Amino acid sequence: HHRPHSSLDGLTPWEYHKRSEEDQTLNRANL
């Protein structure tokens, strides 16, 4: 499975952005 626009770890920019937002939310909750 290779995507033409793959970026980090094969995630699309949209997936990566969504994951980044989730990670930031978790990080905020953990502070």
pLDDT tens across 1-31, in order? 555 555 556 768 888 888 888 888 887 887 7
Determine contact, residues 5/13, Cβ cutoff 8 Å: yes
In the chain, the largest separation of any two C-alpha atoms, in whole Å, equals: 37
Determine contact, residues 22/31, Cβ cutoff 8 Å: no
Looking at residue 8, its pLDDT comes to 55
Looking at residue 29, its pLDDT comes to 81
Which of helix, strand or coil describes residue 20? helix
Task: Report the predicted TM-score, pTM, of the whole model to 2 decimal places.
Answer: 0.42
Q: Where are the alpha helices (DSSP H) in 1-31?
A: 13-30
Looking at residue 5, its pLDDT comes to 55
